[in-house]
Amino acid sequence: MLARLVPLSLCLSLIMAAPLLALEYEGKNIDGRRIEAKAYYQGTGGLYTVQVEFKGNKATIYFENGGQTTIILKQSSITDLNKIEGSGRLGYWPLNNLFSIGLESEVGGTTSVPGADLWIISLDEEI
């Protein structure tokens, strides 16, 4: 039994261990602090007032009601503070660029709309 768990735990470690580089804007590391922002989610068509915290290739979006979601960013360096793109589904937490875990919140299953998991973040403050 233990012999089976070792390869499984090694595989899970490799899946979850992605290289973590700091997100940059104009050569400055912007990881680790919450920044006021607006977030557009194509899945709902909603524009939300949020705070966002970057960590490597991920951004955690904190909503006013106390909820949060984490998305995978499409770029490792920000060039436009008004168009930071990422993907992720509400209620899911990304393990890496291929896998995420979470609960399906929609009745009847997943959506099949292309780009439904697209987020566009616009920062409210200068970095």
Q: Which three-class secondary structure string do you get for the chain?
A: CHHHHHHHHHHHHHHHCCCCCCCEECCEECECCEEEEEEEECCCCEEEEEEEEEECCEEEEEECCCCEEEEEECCCEECCCCCEEEECCCCEEECCCCCEEECCCCCCCCCCCCCCCEEEEEECCCC
Task: Report residue 96's pLDDT band, with 50, 70 and 90 as the boundaries.
Answer: low
Q: What is the mean pLDDT of the chain?
A: 78
pTM of the complete model? 0.70
The tens digit of pLDDT for each residue in 37-53 reads 999 999 899 999 999 99
pLDDT value of residue 120: 97
**How many beta carbons lie within 10 A of that of residue 64, not counting itself?**
9
The tens digit of pLDDT for each residue in 63-94 reads 999 999 999 999 888 999 999 999 988 766 56
